Every structure is written in C-alpha cells, then in structure tokens.
C-alpha cells in the first residue's frame, strides 16, 4: 500500500531538548473550519502546549492557532482547549501512566495526513539541567567529528 502523504504544519523542537521522549502517539484534533484554513497556511505554534485527560477525554491546551484572516466572525479563541480524538482504551492507559509515573503528554508536531489534521503526542519525562548540557555536549562532539571527517575526505 502506498505511503500516506504527510504535510507537517509545525514542530515543537524544544520538546526534544526539554524532555526524554518515552513513547509517541497519533491523535486527531477537533477543529473549526477557520482553524483548519489557518493550519493549512502554517499559522500554528506548539510552544508551551500540553495534553491532559479530563473526564475520559483528551484535550490539548495552549496550542496557538492564529485567527484566519478572512474568517471574520467565525474565528474562535486562538488558544482554546481543543479536543483530541483517540480511542478510549488509549486515553485511559495514558491517563494511568501520567498519574502514576509522573510523565507528561507533550505535542511534538502537527501535520495533515490524508487531509485530516493530526497531532503527534509524546509521553515524556522532564530532563534535568545537567541532562540538557550533556545532550548539547554530545551533539557538539558529533558535529565536530563529522566536520573532521569531511575535511579529511577533501584531502
């Protein structure tokens, strides 16, 4: 079967710096018409957003979708809580992990798959400051090694 086309709207790059990613999940997002048009134009921001289970349903908080320019009165609050579409068993499992193990649900990216808006959620554990420094040091060392290998290949 052919791979479904995926158009990435926005990514939360800071999440991979601030958290240890344990597991990822895909969920649909319940949006209004003007929000979808704004998303297609790439006007979304995942900074400081998070997901949380509430009354057996999953919601996404603090995701900013800019109002659609031609939306006039049909535009809604840009940072409203948005319902995520997931299976009940998956929601219950995530709720249990978040409650017991002190994990967080962090959105990694928003994209369109087969014309539907989807979000990639990560079950994540917060990094300590020294973990972040260590990760940056490893990244710098790897970059230096690659730079030296390229320079060596030229000669």
Q: What is the pTM of this model?
A: 0.78
Detail the DSSP E strand segments found in the chain. Answer: 6-11, 19-29, 44-45, 50-54, 57-61, 64-65, 82-85, 104-113, 116-126
Domain positions in the chain are: 6-127
Diameter of the chain measured on Cα atoms: 64
Specify the CATH superfamily of domain 6-127.
Answer: Small protein B (2.40.280.10)
Per-residue pLDDT of 79-135, as tens digits, reads: 899 999 999 999 999 998 888 887 899 999 999 999 899 999 999 888 888 788 888
């Amino acid at each position: 079967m052919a791979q479904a086309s995926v158009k990435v709207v926005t990514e939360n790059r800071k999440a991979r710096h601030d958290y240890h990613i344990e597991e990822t999940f895909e969920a649909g997002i319940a949006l209004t018409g003007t929000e979808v048009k704004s998303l297609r134009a790439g006007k979304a921001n995942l900074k400081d957003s998070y997901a949380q289970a509430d009354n057996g349903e999953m919601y996404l908080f603090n995701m900013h979708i800019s109002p659609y320019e031609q939306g006039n009165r049909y535009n809604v609050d840009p940072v409203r809580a948005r319902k995520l579409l997931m299976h009940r068993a998956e929601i219950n499992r995530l709720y249990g992990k978040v409650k017991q193990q002190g994990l967080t649900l962090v959105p990694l990216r928003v994209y369109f798959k087969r014309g539907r808006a989807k979000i990639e959620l990560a079950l994540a554990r917060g990094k300590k400051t020294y973990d972040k420094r260590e990760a940056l040091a490893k990244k710098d060392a790897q970059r230096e090694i690659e730079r030296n290998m390229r320079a060596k290949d030229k000669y």
